A and B are shown apart, each in its own frame.
Chain A
C-alpha cells in the first residue's frame, strides 16, 4: 500500500481511530463529556482530512480492488460524517437530560462511529465484498443502537421493551436480507467469476447464459430493498422507527439508508445492470409501490414516528426515479447529481424532524409518547419552535423556499430528462397524498388547544434552529451545494 493510497484512505482511518479511542475510553475512563468530545473531534478530523484530499478525489484513487476514493466518495462521505456528528449531538442531548437514570451513554459513541465507518466503506465500495463488509459493519452496530437501553427505572424494564423488540425485529429481518444479498452475490460470482462492480456485466444474450445472473441480480436487489425499506420489503420500518431511541431512529433513517443509496448508485453507474429490461421493470414497480403505498399508509397515522417511517418509504421511492434515470447514457450524469442532492435534502430534513421529535417528546425514561395530539397548539405555545416544525414539514412536502423543494425539483428534472413520464405522474400523485398528512400535522400545530399545557421542552433547541436555518438557506440559495455535487 503506497503512501498515496494511505492518504486517500485517511478519512476512514481517522474514523477507525476514533472507534478504538472511544472504545478504550469507554472501558477505562467513563466520562460522557470526554467521550462526546473525542467522538466529535475525531469526526471533525476525518472531515478535514476529506477536505485535504480533494486533489486525490478529483483524479480518483483505487485503494485495493475493493475501494475507490473519488469525487463521488468525497460528497457522500462528507454528508455522512456531518450526519453522524449531528446524531452524536442529538444523542448527547437526549441522554443528557436524565443523568440520574444511570444510562450507559458512553458506548453509543463507539457504535455510532462504527456505523459511520460502515457507511464510508459503502460510499467507496466498488466491489461486492466491500459492499458486504460495509453493510454488515453498519448493520451490526445499528442493531445495538436500535435496542439501546434508554433508562428504565431499576427493577422495571417496561420502558426498555419497545426498543428491545425493535432491535430484535431489525436484527432478524436484516439478517434475512443479508442472506439474500449473499446468495445473490454467489450467483453473480458463479456466472462472471468476479465481484468487482465494473465487470459484473450481464451477458448480452440472457436466454443463452441462463437465468443465473439475472436471478443473482434480483436477489441482490431484494437484499438492498429490504435495507432501504422499499415496498413490499418495508414491514420492519414503522416498528423499528417507533421503538428505537429517537436519535438512533434518525440514524437509521438517514445514514443507513443514505449509505445504501450511495453504493447502489455507484453500482448502477459502473455496471450495466439497468440495460436489462427486467431489472429496470423491477425497479420501476418498486418505485411506484413505494411511493403509493408509503404515502397511503402514512395518511391515517397518529404516531409521529410511524408517520415519518411511512413517509420515508415514499421518499426512497422518489429516489428510485433517479436510479432508473441513471440507466440512460445522456441523463445519467444529471441523475447522479439529482440523487446526491435529494439525499442531502432528505437527510437534512429528516434529521431536523427527528431532532424536533426528540426535543418535544421528552427524554430518557419519560413516556415514549409520539402521538400527534402532543403537538397540538405548539405554534402558539412555542412560536419559534412551532415555526421551525412547520418549515420542516413544508420541506418534507417539497414546498418552495425549502431544501425539500429543490430536491423534489431535481427528481422531477431527472425523470423528465430520462423521459420517465408515467413514473413522474406517480410521483405527482404521491406528493399530493403526502400533502394531506403533512398539512394535517401543520393544522394540529395550529390548533387553539389549551389542554396540552405545562409541557417543558428540553435542550436541543439550537440544533433544531440551526438545521432549520440551513434548510431554508439551501432552499433559497442552493448554488454552493449544486456546484459541489459530484460528477462521475
Chain B
C-alpha cells in the first residue's frame, strides 16, 4: 500500500498546492516541500531489503482492466529505490531553486512540478507495461507545461519539439508492447500486460529484434542517444531552472531505467546482438556531446550538451552487459543527476544576477562572487570526472567494464574524458577568470542558494569517496538483469524456474 501512497501523495499534493496558492500567497512553495518530505518519510519506512531470495522489496497488485489483462502492479527494488531517492532529493532541490525565480502563477507551477514528480515515481514503480506507458506519458505533460509557460524566449518551439519527439517515440514503444502482448496471447491464450508474464515469453529472433527496437528507440530518445538528442538542447535551454533540473537530473534517467528494467530483461538475446551498435552509439554520443558543448557560447546550452556526453557513458555502460559496467552506469545516473542539476542551478543564479547566459559577456565572476564561483569550479571539475567525486567512480567503472567487452570502442569513449576536461575548463575560464563584467550590484550566494549547492556537493563527495552503499543497493537488480542474458538458452525450464524464483511476493 505504501507504494500506492508514494504516487498518490504527490498527485493529491499537486492539487492542494494549486488551491493553497489561491488561498495564501507563498504557501505553495512550503507545501511542496512538505509533500516531498512526506514522500521521503514514506520511502524511509519501507523495508530496505528484499525478503530472502527475492528481488522485490515490496509489491502491490490489484486489478484494473481484467478484460485486457491490465493491473495496477507496482514493485520496488534496489534500482527503483535508488532512483526514487534521487527523484525526491532533486524534486526538493528544484523547489528550493525556484523559490525566487517564479513569480507568476506560482501555485500552478508547483502543481506541475509535483505532477511531473508523481509521473516519474510511477515510471520507476510500475511493473505492468500498460501502466508503465501511462506514467511514461503522464510525466511529460506537466513538463511540457513547465517549459511552455515559464520558459525563456523560444519556449513554445522547445516545448513542441520536446513533446513530439518523446510522444512519437513512445507510441512506437506502445506498438512494441502490443506486439509483445499478442505474441504472449498467441502462445498462452491469455491477454496480459504483466512484466512477470511477459518475461517468460520465448521469442523468435526476428520479432524479438523489431520489438526490442521499438522499446529501444523510445528509451534512446529520452536518454538521449546521439542522433535522437536534438530535442534536448532546446528543451533544457528554454526551460526554467527548476524544469531544466528535473529534465536533466531525473527525466533522462527514466530512459536509462527503461533500458535496464525492460529492454535488457525482455529481449536478452536481441539486446546482446544489438550491444556492439549501442555501445558504438554511446561512445559516439560521448565524443559528440563533448565537442558540441565545447562550441557553445550559451552557458545553459553548454551544460545541456554535457548531458548528451554523460548519458553516452550510461548507454555504453548498459550495453557492455557486465556487472562492473552496469553498476557504473547506475552510478553515472546518480552522479550526473547531482552534478548537472547543480550546474543548471548555477546557470540560473548567474542569469538572475546578470540577465545573460552568454559566455562572451560574462567573466571575472570570481572577484565578485567568490562563493558561487567556488561551487562552479567544484561542479565543473565533477563534470570532467575529478577523482574523489562520484562522476569519477562512475566513469571509471563504466570504462573498466566496457573495456573487457569491447576495447576499441572503449578507447574511443576514453577520448571523451579529454573533451570533458576541455569544456569544463572552458566554462570555468570564460565565466570565472578574466576581467569582471561591468555590473555593479551583485550579491553572492544567499543562505538558501548556499545550502542547495553545498548539499549537492556533499553528496557528490560522499558517493565519490564511499560509493559502496550505492553499489550494494543495485548489486542484486543488476545481477538479475544480467542473469536473463547470460543464462544458456538451452531448455526453457531452467530459465522459467530461475525467473520465477525472483518473482516471489513478499
What sequence of 0s and 1s flags, for each residue 12-31 of chain B, a beta carbon within 8 Å of any chain A beta carbon? Answer: 00000000000000000000
A439 adjacent to B159 (CB under 8 Å): yes
A432 adjacent to B67 (CB under 8 Å): no
Q: Which residues of A contact B163 (CB under 8 A)?
A: 435, 439
A416 adjacent to B182 (CB under 8 Å): yes
With A416-B175, A432-B164, A442-B148 known, 9 other A-B pairs at CB within 8 A are: A380-B105, A394-B141, A405-B134, A413-B181, A417-B185, A424-B175, A428-B172, A440-B160, A483-B67
A399 adjacent to B137 (CB under 8 Å): yes
> Is A401 an interface residue when CB atoms closer than 8 A count as contact?
yes
B182 adjacent to A443 (CB under 8 Å): no
B134 adjacent to A400 (CB under 8 Å): yes
> Is B156 an interface residue when CB atoms closer than 8 A count as contact?
yes
> Is A436 an interface residue when CB atoms closer than 8 A count as contact?
yes
In the complex, residue of chain A having the shortest beta-carbon distance to the beta carbon of B163: A439
In the complex, residue of chain B having the shortest beta-carbon distance to the beta carbon of A383: B108
Give the Cβ gap from A477 to chain B, nearest Cβ, in Å: 8
Q: Which residues of A contact B172 (CB under 8 A)?
A: 428
> Is B447 an interface residue when CB atoms closer than 8 A count as contact?
no
> Is A412 an interface residue when CB atoms closer than 8 A count as contact?
yes
Set B66, B148, B175: member contacting A412, Cβ < 8 A: B175
Set B137, B156, B181: member contacting A400, Cβ < 8 A: B137
> Is A478 an interface residue when CB atoms closer than 8 A count as contact?
yes
Q: Which 7 A-B pairs have the closest CB atoms?
A: A432-B168, A416-B178, A400-B134, A428-B171, A400-B137, A482-B67, A417-B182
What sequence of 0s and 1s flags, for each residue 126-148 of chain B, a beta carbon within 8 Å of any chain A beta carbon? Answer: 00001001100110010011001
Q: Which residues of A contact B179 (CB under 8 A)?
A: 416
* Assembled-state Cα–Cα distance A131/B214 (Å): 42
Q: Which residues of B57-94 are within 8 A (CB) of A?
A: 64-68
B contact residues, range: 20 to 34
What sequence of 0s and 1s flags, for each residue 433-447 of chain A, a beta carbon within 8 Å of any chain B beta carbon? Answer: 001100110110010
Set A432, A436, A443, A479: member contacting B171, Cβ < 8 A: A432
* Assembled-state Cα–Cα distance A409/B175 (Å): 9
> Is B174 an interface residue when CB atoms closer than 8 A count as contact?
yes
* Assembled-state Cα–Cα distance A334/B501 (Å): 35
Q: Which residues of B contact A400 (CB under 8 A)?
A: 133-134, 137-138
B178 adjacent to A412 (CB under 8 Å): yes
> Is A142 an interface residue when CB atoms closer than 8 A count as contact?
no
Q: Which residues of A48-102 are within 8 A (CB) of B?
A: none
* Assembled-state Cα–Cα distance A214/B66 (Å): 42
A443 adjacent to B141 (CB under 8 Å): no
> Is A431 an interface residue when CB atoms closer than 8 A count as contact?
yes
Residues of A within 8 A of B (CB): 380, 394, 399-401, 405, 409, 412-413, 416-417, 421, 424-425, 428-429, 431-432, 435-436, 439-440, 442-443, 446, 478-479, 482-483
* Assembled-state Cα–Cα distance A394/B148 (Å): 16
B175 adjacent to A443 (CB under 8 Å): no
B164 adjacent to A435 (CB under 8 Å): yes
In the complex, residue of chain B having the shortest beta-carbon distance to the beta carbon of A429: B168
Give the Cβ gap from A70 to chain B, nearest Cβ, in Å: 21
Give the Cβ gap from A122 to chain B, nearest Cβ, in Å: 28
* Assembled-state Cα–Cα distance A440/B144 (Å): 12
Q: Which residues of B114-134 are within 8 A (CB) of A?
A: 130, 133-134
Give the Cβ gap from B433 to chain A, nearest Cβ, in Å: 39
In the complex, residue of chain B having the shortest beta-carbon distance to the beta carbon of A397: B167
Set A417, A421, A443, A479: member contacting B65, Cβ < 8 A: A479
Q: Which residues of B343-395 are within 8 A (CB) of A?
A: none
> Is B201 an interface residue when CB atoms closer than 8 A count as contact?
no
B138 adjacent to A401 (CB under 8 Å): yes
Asked if A428 meets B168 with Cβ closer than 8 Å, knowing A399-B137, A440-B160, A482-B65, the reply is: yes
Give the Cβ gap from A301 to chain B, nearest Cβ, in Å: 16
> Is B149 an interface residue when CB atoms closer than 8 A count as contact?
yes
* Assembled-state Cα–Cα distance A399/B67 (Å): 21
Q: Is the interface of A mostly helix, strand, loop or mixed?
A: helix
* Assembled-state Cα–Cα distance A223/B496 (Å): 55
B145 adjacent to A413 (CB under 8 Å): no
Q: Which residues of B contact A394 (CB under 8 A)?
A: 141
B174 adjacent to A409 (CB under 8 Å): yes
B178 adjacent to A413 (CB under 8 Å): yes
A443 adjacent to B160 (CB under 8 Å): yes
In the complex, residue of chain A having the shortest beta-carbon distance to the beta carbon of B134: A400
Q: Which residues of A contact B144 (CB under 8 A)?
A: 439
A401 adjacent to B149 (CB under 8 Å): no
* Assembled-state Cα–Cα distance A436/B165 (Å): 10
Q: Which residues of B contact A412 (CB under 8 A)?
A: 171, 174-175, 178
* Assembled-state Cα–Cα distance A375/B250 (Å): 34
Q: Which residues of B299-315 are within 8 A (CB) of A?
A: none
A436 adjacent to B164 (CB under 8 Å): yes
Which has the most chain B C-beta neighbours within 10 Å: A405, A432, A440, A482?
A: A432
A446 adjacent to B141 (CB under 8 Å): no
Q: Which residues of A contact B134 (CB under 8 A)?
A: 400-401, 405
* Assembled-state Cα–Cα distance A432/B172 (Å): 10
In the complex, residue of chain A having the shortest beta-carbon distance to the beta carbon of B141: A399
Name 8 interchain pairs, CB-CB below 8 A, sorted by A. A399-B167, A409-B174, A417-B178, A432-B171, A436-B164, A439-B160, A442-B148, A443-B148
In the complex, residue of chain B having the shortest beta-carbon distance to the beta carbon of A418: B182
* Assembled-state Cα–Cα distance A361/B134 (Å): 34
Q: Which residues of A contact B133 (CB under 8 A)?
A: 400
In the complex, residue of chain B having the shortest beta-carbon distance to the beta carbon of A337: B67
Q: Which residues of B147-198 are within 8 A (CB) of A?
A: 148-149, 156, 159-160, 163-164, 167-168, 171-172, 174-175, 178-179, 181-182, 185
Give the Cβ gap from B397 to chain A, nearest Cβ, in Å: 36
* Assembled-state Cα–Cα distance A384/B462 (Å): 47
* Assembled-state Cα–Cα distance A433/B134 (Å): 20
In the complex, residue of chain B having the shortest beta-carbon distance to the beta carbon of A394: B141
Q: Which residues of B314-353 are within 8 A (CB) of A?
A: none
Q: Which residues of B contact A399 (CB under 8 A)?
A: 137, 141, 167
Q: Which residues of B424-458 are within 8 A (CB) of A?
A: none
Give the Cβ gap from A311 to chain B, nearest Cβ, in Å: 16
* Assembled-state Cα–Cα distance A380/B64 (Å): 35
Give the Cβ gap from B409 to chain A, nearest Cβ, in Å: 31
* Assembled-state Cα–Cα distance A243/B323 (Å): 66
Q: Which residues of B contact A483 (CB under 8 A)?
A: 67
Q: Which residues of A contact B64 (CB under 8 A)?
A: 479
Give the Cβ gap from A468 to chain B, nearest Cβ, in Å: 16
Q: Which residues of B contact A482 (CB under 8 A)?
A: 65, 67-68
B174 adjacent to A435 (CB under 8 Å): no
A446 adjacent to B138 (CB under 8 Å): no
In the complex, residue of chain B having the shortest beta-carbon distance to the beta carbon of A409: B174
Q: Which residues of A contact B178 (CB under 8 A)?
A: 412-413, 416-417
* Assembled-state Cα–Cα distance A401/B168 (Å): 17
What sequence of 0s and 1s flags, for each residue 22-44 of chain B, a beta carbon within 8 Å of any chain A beta carbon? Answer: 00000000000000000000000
* Assembled-state Cα–Cα distance A380/B104 (Å): 11
* Assembled-state Cα–Cα distance A181/B172 (Å): 38
Give the Cβ gap from A342 to chain B, nearest Cβ, in Å: 15
Q: Which residues of B contact A432 (CB under 8 A)?
A: 164, 167-168, 171
A435 adjacent to B148 (CB under 8 Å): no
In the complex, residue of chain B having the shortest beta-carbon distance to the beta carbon of A483: B67
Give the Cβ gap from A183 to chain B, nearest Cβ, in Å: 39
Asked if A446 meets B145 with Cβ closer than 8 Å, knowing A400-B138, A428-B172, the reply is: yes
B149 adjacent to A446 (CB under 8 Å): yes
Give the Cβ gap from B142 to chain A, nearest Cβ, in Å: 12
Give the Cβ gap from B171 to chain A, nearest Cβ, in Å: 4
* Assembled-state Cα–Cα distance A424/B179 (Å): 11
Asked if A436 meets B138 with Cβ closer than 8 Å, knowing A416-B175, A446-B145, the reply is: no
* Assembled-state Cα–Cα distance A412/B68 (Å): 14
Q: Which residues of B contact A443 (CB under 8 A)?
A: 148, 156, 159-160
* Assembled-state Cα–Cα distance A192/B155 (Å): 62
* Assembled-state Cα–Cα distance A402/B288 (Å): 39
Q: Which residues of B contact A439 (CB under 8 A)?
A: 144, 159-160, 163-164
Q: Which residues of B contact A428 (CB under 8 A)?
A: 168, 171-172, 175
* Assembled-state Cα–Cα distance A399/B164 (Å): 12
* Assembled-state Cα–Cα distance A432/B174 (Å): 13
